[in-house]
Structure 1
């Protein structure tokens, strides 16, 4: 059952490796070359909410996700925004079952109404995977169009020696 601490794993610093389809609604389209990102997530409301900012220099913009847990429904709503648009996209809503979270919503992509699905999986203290898929037919078929693998950045040892002055 989903709880207000499902996304606690995401708090802190991350490195990302992204793969995106060249055409988000075409399952036969090629995958773009992988590109990196960095992100930082911080908890709010004692863990029942969080916000992260992701920097994707390859794309020339940053993104922001606000996640909110609703105790009465035991569901999360995930709200995405991009510095490229300055727009808050419609939320996806769902929950975790075990270490897999699935979230759905409705949006428009390139003038086409789509059903949107986010899936979080492979969740651990040092890694996680996020996938986005669109369905142009109300959820009968899905095209996974963006995959992001998260890893924790390496922890650098403290500098040795005495500071010079």
Structure 2
């Protein structure tokens, strides 16, 4: 069961190794890789947080920032994860879910390239110095999923 402190692990600074499909809906599309840095702040005594991911200007898809606002609903014991990007400036529809056995799964509905998609975020591999986030889309009512973005989080080494 989820608690208001599920995302406490994320508070602080991280390095991110991103691996993302060049076409989120094409299983044969190439993967692109790029680094990012990440900062997360806790709010509402742990029941909310906000983060910013900074993707440095290098290559085709770089030079932008992303933001996530996470809110814990105490009535349902579920989290709503709300994403935005400096590239669009819009808030995407939330994905909603919870943690069980160290794994968080969150689902929502959106559109991508004019197609309705079911969105899934998965948080796993959580430790004091690592975490993994994955995004997948389904266009067939959750019969199949195409993972299209993976982030490997690591705590920066002290200098």
Quickly name the TM-score band, shorter chain normalised: over 0.9
Q: CA deviation at 1:98?
A: 1.7
1:134 aligns with 2:137: yes
Distance in 2, matches of 1:2 and 1:83, equals 30
Q: CA deviation at 1:102?
A: 0.2
2:72 maps to 69
Indicate the structure with greater strand content: 2
1:145 aligns with 2:144: no
Which protein has the larger Cα radius of gyration, Structure 1 or Structure 2? 1
SS of 1:138's equivalent? coil
SS of 2:31's equivalent? coil
Distance in 2, matches of 1:31 and 1:76, equals 29
* 1:9-88 aligned within 5 A: 9-32=9-32, 34-57=33-56, 58=58, 59-88=62-91
Q: CA deviation at 1:99?
A: 1.1
Bigger drift between 10-19 and 53-62 goes to 53-62
1:120 maps to 123
Task: Give unpaired runs (5+ residues) of structure 2.
Answer: none
2:3 maps to 3
Distance in 2, matches of 1:126 and 1:29, equals 31
How many residues end up aligned between the 2 structures?
Answer: 155
Q: Which runs of 4+ in 1 moved over 6 A?
A: none
TM-score scaled to structure 1, two decimals?
A: 0.92
TM-score scaled to structure 2, two decimals?
A: 0.95
Task: Give unpaired runs (5+ residues) of structure 1.
Answer: 157-165
